[in-house]
Amino acid sequence: MISKKSDWQITTANIYSADWIDPTRNDFGHYNVVYSYRVGEEIYIGEFSDYRSATDSYLKRDETIQIRYHPFKPKQSFYPERRSAAKRRIFWASLGLGLALVILLIVYLNGGFKQ
């Protein structure tokens, strides 16, 4: 039984497209990548969002990448090197929390919070 994605099979995939999606009110900007790969005689399509910066050099059409696919369900695949939005959200949340703590410390040291 395959329980971890790190145990999935590795194969080469061809990039079909890698389009930049501008940030919206509810999401960070990111690349939407579509790729195809072959398992046996079947060709499958995969897709992922990668939250790199728009200024980063990135994947191009017809380039190849190494993806992993589930050996018993080859329609399921993923690109192990993608960057998720979670890392960006954690970074920005940590930065916001740090700034809030600095502001609270400055207010406290300047005699704030007294009644």
How far is the C-alpha of 65 from the C-alpha of 51, rounded, in Å? 17
Distance CA 113, CA 106 (A): 11
Residue span of the structural domain in which 61 resides = 7-83
Residues of the chain with pLDDT under 70: 1-3, 56, 83-93, 113-115
Return the bridge partners of 64, or none. 14
Domain presence at residue 2? no
* Calpha distance 86→61 (Å, rounded): 26
Look at residue 43 in the predicted model and tell me its pLDDT: 97
Q: Report the pLDDT value the prediction gives residue 19, as an integer from 0 to 100.
A: 92
| In a shared domain, residues 17 and 62 | yes
Residues 79 and 100 in one domain: no
One domain for residues 58 and 103: no
Whether 43 and 99 map to the same domain: the answer is no
pLDDT score, position 113:
65
77 and 89, same domain (yes or no): no
Report pLDDT for 2: 62
Tally of domains within the chain:
2
